[in-house]
Amino acid sequence: MSIIFDKEHNLFHLKSEGFSYIMQVLDIGYLTHLYWGKPIRNFSSFHKSLHDAHVNLDALAQEYAVYGTGDFRTPTLEVQQENGSTVGELKYVSHVIMNGKPSIAPLPSTYIEVPEEADSLIITLADQASGLTVELTYTVYQALNVLTRSAKLINKRTDGEYLKVGRALSFCIDYEHSNYELLQLSGAWCREKHIYRRELVPGLQSVDSKRGFSSHQQSPFIALTSKNTTEKNGEVYGFNLVYSGSFLAEVEVDQFYSARVQMGINPFDFAWVLKAGESLQTPEVVMVYSDKGLGQMSRTYHRLYRKRLCRGLYRDTERPILINNWEATYFNFTETKIEEIATTGKELGMELFVLDDGWFGKRDSDNCSLGDWIVDKKKLPNGLDTLAQNIVNKDIRFGLWFEPEMISPDSDLYREHPDWCLHVPERTPMSTPSQRNQLVLDLSQEEVCNKVIDMLSNILSTAPISYVKWDMNRPLTDMGSAKLAKEQQREIAHRYVLGLYHILETITTKFPNVLFESCASGGGRFDPGMLYYMPQTWTSDDTDAVERLKIQYGTSLVSPAITMGSHISASPNHQVGRTTSLDFRGHVAMAGNFGYELDLTKFSEEEKELVKSQVAFYKTIRPIIQFGDQYRLLSPFEDNQTAWMYVNEDQTEAVVFFYRVLSKPHTLFTKLKLDGLNPFYNYQINDSDVILGGDELMDSGILPENLHGDFASCCWKLKAVKCCKE
């Protein structure tokens, strides 16, 4: 059992192979945090015995903080009673220790397959005056060195009065000092998940999204790192929220220079009416401690998310190499043109063709037809089912683009059901070009969710579709619902997410053989909540290989390569206008789920041969990249060079990528030191006569060669040829 309760001192010790997490119930009932860090054997010295007269709530390290009784830091929970009071005081009631991990449905979460994988602790706290009970759930994945937390709020009043929840974050943890740096992943559309680090200072520092989805601008991930932490050294505390809506992650440094970390549903414009007997479940946060730098933290997240967040047939299946027609044709295509691209893709070794936007309604631009999921017979006169079957008959799979959460004002569906979009009755909903000329369906309405499910089911059941690209191209505005009471209007953002999760659970269960890929104008909703339903995400709409170095490097801090869509597109690039070689674009795109987004039919024979060799080579390294451990070697945020590598589980195979952005005069390459290899193995380099020891490759390094000009790259494939273990 990885959770121990010391009854004499009311101490909880949660432990894995890599950490200890210790809490105590004080004599007066408060649940206090004592320690999280390297594993320790004996925790008896941690206990405290505090009575009312000795407790300063403004300094007490807490596990779930409330407002109004002496703690003046930002609370985790704020609840208003019908009498208007927001004062709260949570005290310990009971606890349960169990094998396994309870579900927090209807929200997604990490999971187990057998009870022995994890142990869970549920601590019940109660505010006697308000009738509110809070159940804190802690789960320890012992072998994976992961701790997850969430909270469930229950109104147990017996007089029928409601409670109004204004703030309900998923967790709170108080550190005894603030000598850390805050690491965050921030950016914009086409510039997602750039790494930023800053020292903590007194006061609040936070990242959040108010956009209704996790957003391009901020990611629901932060980490506290010790000063000068690197990939291989230093302490890291990582926090990742399994949620796809508006979120808040904040760190507050108080007057005593201690730090409080909290994360959860964004309390901005949020209020939830909790009627007697009802409950509200908060999203799960995945907490990872590393004493060996950012690299160890990342590989922990990667292993967990590959095996115990992603689900279904494709969790353990190599992902297909695809060709998508979007940047080849945009909205302007014919049935013949689509079949030509698919045929060329098959000839070059690709395994999946994806028909993107423009196949339905009167969709010749982005200003109409969303919601009218009926095939455009002008473009596809023989129907979608015939086109899909013709392509499948070429021995290449068929995939399709949808944007199911949206509706165009110029659509039959909107004209029939104008109340099905998010809107405030007195206001005209916004559908300007900056909002893609579209509105957002109100997924807080059950009727709307059922319509989306029926629409998707009808199409997926009438054509041989094996892949779906699920897009979402604008944030949520006009936050009003025609079906919710006025006191519930501030519930809409969260209810939208719950409706989305219901749709995704239903559709992915109904069509288990379909590979679903999430997209939100690229990486606008690349979060673990979506990965629970869709095991891969389109990383960014920016397909420029140079920009992708930073985007993919930052994304890899939390997300494994198998979840990252990464494609070769045209040159000059359509987003930034940069010209790069097919080789360079290929080496960048291979660091994820590989594919192409361009018109293959316009390629020269020489280019086609290069593409064919890229596809064939990727198939040989695909299992290493998609299921191996990633090691980041050189950061694009720090230098002109970038490098990363992937190593399979038994350390017998590896693949290394090195990239140089700009060529500079009088610059000598230094050896690139590798990582993650077995020092006692010898490795053959690129199937050549060169054989080097794992220790030499890691301690001395390997020299990049034959790089010329700007935007140059190389790749090494390593294979263990003999073992020299002594």
Model pLDDT, residue 48: 62
For residue 44, what pLDDT is reported? 63
pLDDT band at 724 (very low <50, low <70, confident <90, very high): low
pLDDT at position 722: 72
Q: What is the pLDDT of residue 283?
A: 98
pLDDT by residue (tens digit) across 386-434? 999 999 999 999 999 999 999 999 999 999 999 999 999 889 888 888 8
Handedness of CA 489, 494, 497, 501 (dihedral sign): negative
Decide if 457 contacts 417 (C-beta within 8 A).
no
Query: Using an 8 Å Cβ cutoff, are 368 and 362 in contact?
Result: yes
Contact 387, 464 (CB under 8 A): no
Give catalytic residues, as residue numbers.
471, 541
User: Measured between alpha carbons, how far is residue 80 from residues 83, 155, 206, 500, 666 in Å?
Assistant: 8, 12, 24, 28, 67
pLDDT of the residue at 665: 87
* CA-CA-CA-CA torsion sign (205, 211, 216, 217): negative
Report yes or no: 593 and 536 within 8 Å, Cβ to Cβ. yes
Query: CA 76, CA 64: separation in Å to the nearest integer?
Result: 6
Q: Is 710 exposed, middle or buried (0-12, 13-18, 19+ CB in 10 A)?
A: middle
> What sign results for the dihedral spanned by CA atoms 539, 545, 547, 549?
positive
Q: Thinking of the domain 313-406+446-478+514-627, which architecture would CATH place it in?
A: Alpha-Beta Barrel (3.20)
Determine the average pLDDT of the residues in 144-154. 97
- Per-residue pLDDT for 216 more than 50? yes
> Average pLDDT for residues 650-678, to the nearest whole number?
94
The domain limits of the chain are 3-308, 313-406+446-478+514-627, 634-723
pLDDT, tens digit, 9 for 90 and up, residues 448-470: 999 999 999 999 999 999 999 99
Distance CA 259, CA 223 (A): 13
Neighbouring CB atoms inside 10 A of 339's CB total 15
* Structure token pair of residue 445: 């309405």
Query: By CB neighbour count within 10 A (0-12 exposed, 13-18 middle, 19+ buried), where does 709 fall?
Result: exposed
Determine contact, residues 331/359, Cβ cutoff 8 Å: no
Residue-wise pLDDT for 505-549, tens only, equals 999 999 999 999 999 999 999 999 999 999 999 999 999 999 999
Q: Give the chain's mean pLDDT.
A: 96
Strands 352-355 and 397-402: parallel
Q: 50 pLDDT exceeds 80?
A: no
Of 515, 501, 142, which is closest to residue 316 (Cα–Cα)? 515
pLDDT at 657: 98
Average pLDDT over residues 299-308: 98
What is the domain class of 3-308 according to CATH?
A: mainly beta
How confident is the model over 567-609, as pLDDT tens digits?
999 999 999 999 999 999 999 999 999 999 999 999 999 999 9
Report the SS3 class of residue 272. strand
Tell me the average pLDDT across 281-287: 98
Inform me whether the pLDDT recorded for 557 exceeds 80.
yes
Residue 434: predicted pLDDT: 80
Contact 391, 339 (CB under 8 A): yes
Q: Does position 45 have pLDDT exceeding 80, yes or no?
A: no
| Cα separation values, 210 from 79, 146, 249, 265, 526, Å | 21, 28, 12, 10, 16
- The answer to whether residue 131 scores a pLDDT higher than 70 is yes
Percent of the chain predicted with pLDDT > 90: 93
Domain spanning 634-723: which CATH class is it, in words?
A: mainly beta
Element (H, E) at 610: helix 605-627
Q: How many Å apart are CA 481 and CA 419, to the nearest integer? A: 8
pLDDT tens across 218-261, in order? 999 999 999 999 999 999 999 999 999 999 999 999 999 999 99
Provide the pLDDT confidence category of residue 46 given band limits of 50, 70 and 90.
low
Residue 370: partners with Cβ closer than 8 Å, 6 or more residues away: 361, 363, 403, 406, 407, 408, 411, 438
* Helical axes 446-460 vs 492-510, angle rounded to 10°: 30
Count CB atoms within 10 A of the CB of residue 158. 8
DSSP β-ladder status, 77-81 and 163-175: antiparallel
Is it the case that residue 136 has pLDDT exceeding 50? yes
Q: Is the pLDDT of residue 326 over 50?
A: yes
pLDDT, tens only, 639-656: 999 999 999 999 999 999
Cis amide linkage into residue 572, ω under 30° from 0: yes
DSSP classification of residue 360: B
- Measure Cα distances from 423 to 120, 372, 426, 443 in Å: 42, 20, 9, 12
pLDDT at res. 726: 47
Q: What's the pLDDT score for residue 667?
A: 78
Q: Rounded to an integer, what distance in angstroms lies between the CA atom of residue 61 and that of residue 631?
A: 35
Closest Cα to residue 324, out of 599, 38, 41?
A: 599
